[in-house]
């Protein structure tokens, strides 16, 4: 019979955390809702035209923050919420989806592996600038009717936008209090590293 996780981390010798309760889950949802609201409103206010696309660094700053705080699943959910609201409110186009989802996913995965904000920043730039930029071209061509440019047409504007947003997020993370993403505890071995094989 397995020992309860709380008993395994009672001494606080390892990074294992207690299971998230309803209050913790509500706080996480509240933070995610705030990021979605800020991303939706500020992305429409801070816009930098680059080619036929519109660079919105706020979206990418939010992606990095969400990746560090919530992990890949939460970051993708926040990015999707912002993109959906921007389209429903007439503040963006379908390019908002490839311009945010891939960066959020790679930022969250990179931070989960390396546990460093700079990894999330790099994942955001790679996911949005390269992957999102490549996916945006056929989307713009077939669904939006845009025929100008080559396959890499969106890579540069998406890359510049995500790089700027990632740098802003990196500065914010130096000032804001740390918050580990949900599910971090699941990466620890049973017993929180308290067994004889613990270092």
Instruction: Name the pTM for this structure.
Output: 0.74
pLDDT digits (tens, 9 = 90+) for 3-59: 544 444 434 444 444 456 787 788 889 999 999 999 999 987 887 776 655 667 899
Q: pLDDT at position 182, please?
A: 54
Q: pLDDT at position 37, please?
A: 95
Q: pLDDT at position 7, please?
A: 43
Q: pLDDT at position 33, please?
A: 95
Query: Is the pLDDT score of 146 beyond 90?
Result: no
Q: pLDDT at position 115, please?
A: 93
Q: pLDDT at position 20, please?
A: 60
pLDDT digits (tens, 9 = 90+) for 173-197: 998 876 655 544 444 444 444 444 4
pLDDT digits (tens, 9 = 90+) for 47-87: 777 665 566 789 999 999 999 999 999 999 999 999 999 99
pLDDT digits (tens, 9 = 90+) for 88-126: 998 888 888 998 999 999 999 999 999 999 999 999 999
Domain spans of the chain? 22-178
User: What is the pLDDT of the chain when averaged over all its residues?
Assistant: 79
Q: pLDDT at position 9, please?
A: 41
Which top CATH class is 22-178? mainly alpha
pLDDT digits (tens, 9 = 90+) for 43-56: 878 877 766 556 67
Between 139 and 195, name the one with better pLDDT.
139
Contacts 24+ apart (CB under 8 A), 85-91: 85/36, 85/40, 86/40, 86/43, 86/44, 89/40, 91/40, 91/43, 91/44
Q: pLDDT at position 184, please?
A: 47
């Amino acid at each position: 019979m397995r020992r309860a996780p709380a008993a395994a981390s009672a001494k606080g010798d390892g990074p294992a955390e207690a299971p998230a309760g309803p209050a913790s889950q509500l706080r996480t949802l509240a933070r995610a809702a705030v990021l979605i609201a800020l991303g939706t409103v500020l992305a429409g206010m801070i816009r930098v035209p680059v080619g036929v696309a519109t660079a919105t660094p706020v979206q990418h700053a939010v992606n990095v923050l969400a990746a560090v705080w919530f992990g890949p699943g939460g970051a993708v959910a926040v990015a999707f919420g912002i993109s959906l609201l921007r389209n429903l409110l007439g503040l963006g186009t379908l390019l908002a989806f490839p311009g945010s989802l891939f960066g959020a996913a790679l930022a969250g995965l990179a931070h989960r592996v390396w546990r460093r904000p700079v990894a999330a920043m790099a994942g955001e730039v790679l996911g949005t600038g390269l992957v999102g930029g490549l996916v945006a071209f056929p989307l713009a061509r077939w669904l939006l009717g845009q025929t100008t440019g080559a396959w890499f047409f969106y890579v540069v504007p998406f890359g510049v936008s995500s790089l700027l947003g990632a740098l802003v997020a990196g500065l914010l993370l130096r000032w804001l209090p740390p918050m580990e993403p949900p599910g971090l505890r699941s990466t620890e071995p049973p017993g929180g590293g308290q067994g004889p094989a613990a270092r």
